[in-house]
Amino acid sequence: MTMADPTMTSPASPTSATAAPTSATAAPTAPASTNPPAQTSPAAHAAAVGTSAPTLRVAVVGSGPAGIYTAEALVKQVSALAGGPGIEVDVLDRLPTPYGLVRYGVAPDHTSIKSIAGYLRRVLEYPRVRFLGGLRLGTDVTREALLSCYDAVVYATGAMRDRRLGVPGEDLPGSVAATDFVNWYCAHPDIDPAMFTLDAQAVAVIGVGNVAVDVARILAKTAAELRGTDVPEPVLAALEASKIREVHMIGRRGPAQAKFTTKELRELGELEGADIAVDPIEADLDAFDPTGESSRLAASDRRVRGNMAVIRDWAGRLPQGRPRRLSVRFWLRPVEIMGTERVTGLRLERTRLDESGRVVGTGEYEVLQVQMVLRSVGYQSVPLPGVPFDERSATVPNAEGRVLGADEKPRPGEYVAGWLKRGPTGVIGTNKSDAAQTVRSLLADVEAGSRPAGSATARLLDVLAARGIRPVSYTDWLGIDQRELELGAELGRGERVKLCGWEALNAACGAGPAADA
């Protein structure tokens, strides 16, 4: 038997009497609820399983798509094993709200993608799965404590930091990471709802991936177009008061090399209040590419072909006199974000591909008069305390989901899934097959006896209770969920309006009708 980490039994921290702190920047915590957790106890789990076989107990850290798909794969793959162990999965999150990127990354107007939350919800409601929110790895619960309480731990904390651009002026006021802007319009409680006032006339969005497309679209849409979505009230008010007239989306390579997908791209040309513009020379596949790579890509890759059809259509469009203009630019790389007190411009250098296919500067410069720069050049994972991390790839070193130590050998009982495992690529569904692979590795190791089912005997709730910490339960979360649905109806805005800030989340946490049941 492994003993609980001694740090877990230290006196309760001042903030830990109820739910644990959920953020470095937001001190308030979710309130205690006198209601029992929505999901079943370990004993009830065993009864549900209906077996006396040992139970495999797994903690999944992160309740975004990767974490919840991992929980689903665990239940399904274990159920498919004849004579295999029982299974209990605890899905932990530092926030009191589940669904990670689906809640705090998917754009509010992408309702069909957001509906994935309904699928994830059903997994959290499996009798063998339990949500434990408000627990931050490293402070509220350590890696060692998890390994003492579970036979296996799967890290699935995603990628929540922006990549840096590395140009002068990047930290000027008005130069903003897309991660912050996305978190703002998705009502992430760590972001001040008053963070953005949108008083710039012109904005540059750097990058031509799907996040850049999301950000450019939200900036260019009218508030009326977003009223029926779940954007919180202060965000809707800021969008309503927006002075933005011009949005430039800028790629350092050509349209054939852009990362966005056609369906998402096409939406930019269908906005009520914005004309779309593309410079025909920048849409010409050969103009800045002597290698012929762009034309080859357009011929061989369906996505690129689809993108080019959209872009060529836009290059031929005339302005319709809409109040805003969205220009999609290519072959320009940022060299300086200009300004002294705050952003006043963006200096760009024209690029082209050289004979070896590398992107190079041409020495020709252009200055855009913009008052805001949104850097959307990709996400990065952050290291987890005590967990190996490769700074170069910003992922946890792994072999098919098995966490590798400094000796490049698997660390028994530790696994990784999702963006933390493979980097921020693919669509949400990509995490399903990715999670299934990690779970196959985990179960093969259990079968091989590296950490058999039932080897961890400490119980996390006991360990936490000894420190005065009570996690946010699934029922507590349903209180938030319920309040958001009510708010949507009260405001006549749509199915849901997100609560904004820690105070509102804490007030609603555990206060829903489901919690009273």
169 binds ligand NAP (CB under 6 A): no
425 binds ligand NAP (CB under 6 A): yes
Read off φ and ψ for residue 516, nearest 5 degrees: -85, -15
Nearer to ligand NAP, 33 or 175 (CB): 175
206 binds ligand NAP (CB under 6 A): yes
Which residue has the CB atom at the shortest distance from ligand NAP? 209
218 binds ligand NAP (CB under 6 A): no
Q: Min. distance of Cβ 281 from ligand NAP in angstroms?
A: 19
Read off φ and ψ for residue 488, nearest 5 degrees: -55, -45
421 binds ligand NAP (CB under 6 A): no
Residue type, position 400, single letter = E
Among 424, 471, 488, 512, binds ligand NAP (CB under 6 A): 424
From the list 340-348, 361-369, 383-391, 424-432, the region that binds ligand NAP by CB under 6 A is 424-432
209 binds ligand NAP (CB under 6 A): yes
**Residue 378: both structure tokens together:** 């990709």
Nearer to ligand NAP, 149 or 165 (CB): 165
Per-residue mark of binding to ligand NAP, 111-150 (x: CB under 6 A): --x-------------------------------------
Q: What angle do CA 335, 246, 242 make, to 5 degrees?
A: 115
Q: Give the H/E segment covering residue 181.
A: helix 178-185
Q: Give the H/E segment covering residue 460.
A: helix 460-466
Q: Min. distance of Cβ 287 from ligand NAP in angstroms?
A: 17
- β-pairing, 129-132 with 152-155? unpaired
Q: Min. distance of Cβ 419 from ligand NAP in angstroms?
A: 8
75 binds ligand NAP (CB under 6 A): no
Per-residue mark of binding to ligand NAP, 219-258 (x: CB under 6 A): --------------------------------xxx---xx
201 binds ligand NAP (CB under 6 A): no
Per-residue mark of binding to ligand NAP, 9-48 (x: CB under 6 A): ----------------------------------------
Binding residues among 368-397 for ligand NAP as defined by CB under 6 A: 376-379
Write the DSSP symbol of residue 93.
Answer: -
Rounded Cα–Cα distance for residues 435 and 69 (Å): 6
464 binds ligand NAP (CB under 6 A): no
264 binds ligand NAP (CB under 6 A): yes
Among 19, 211, 370, 478, binds ligand NAP (CB under 6 A): 211
The interaxial angle of helices 474-490 and 501-508, nearest 10 deg, is 110
Q: Give the H/E segment covering residue 350.
A: strand 345-353
Q: Min. distance of Cβ 55 from ligand NAP in angstroms?
A: 36
Residue type, position 427, single letter = V
Q: Min. distance of Cβ 166 from ligand NAP in angstroms?
A: 6
Rounded Cα–Cα distance for residues 448 and 186 (Å): 43
Sheet with 324-329, side-by-side order of all strands: 175-177, 372-375, 202-206, 246-250, 324-329, 274-278
Would residue 244 be called left, alpha or beta, if left means φ above 0 and alpha means ψ between -120 and 50 degrees? beta
426 binds ligand NAP (CB under 6 A): yes
Residue among 396, 247, 387 at smallest CA distance from 322: 247
From the list 209-217, 273-281, 289-297, 362-370, the region that binds ligand NAP by CB under 6 A is 209-217
- What is the total count of residues that contact ligand NAP (CB under 6 A)? 28
Residues with Cβ within 8 Å of residue 134, at least 6 apart in sequence: 19, 20, 21, 22, 29, 30, 93, 94, 95, 96, 140, 471, 472
349 binds ligand NAP (CB under 6 A): no
From the list 233-241, 361-369, 406-414, 420-428, the region that binds ligand NAP by CB under 6 A is 420-428
Q: What is the distance between the terminal CA atoms of the chain, rounded to a whole angstrom? A: 37
Residues with Cβ within 8 Å of residue 112, at least 6 apart in sequence: none
Nearer to ligand NAP, 212 or 219 (CB): 212
280 binds ligand NAP (CB under 6 A): no
Nearer to ligand NAP, 279 or 486 (CB): 279
Rg (CA), the chain: 24
Buried b (16+ CB within 10 A) or exposed e, 447-456: eeebbebebb
Among 5, 214, 434, 481, binds ligand NAP (CB under 6 A): 214
**Residue 20: both structure tokens together:** 């644990």
Task: Report the greatest alpha carbon distance in the chain.
Answer: 73
177 binds ligand NAP (CB under 6 A): no
165 binds ligand NAP (CB under 6 A): yes
- Please report, for residues 248, 375, 413, the alpha-carbon distance to residue 201 in angstroms, rounded to integers and kept in the order given: 11, 17, 53
282 binds ligand NAP (CB under 6 A): no
Interface residues with ligand NAP (CB under 6 A) are 110, 113, 165, 206-212, 214, 251-253, 257-259, 264, 333-334, 376-379, 424-427
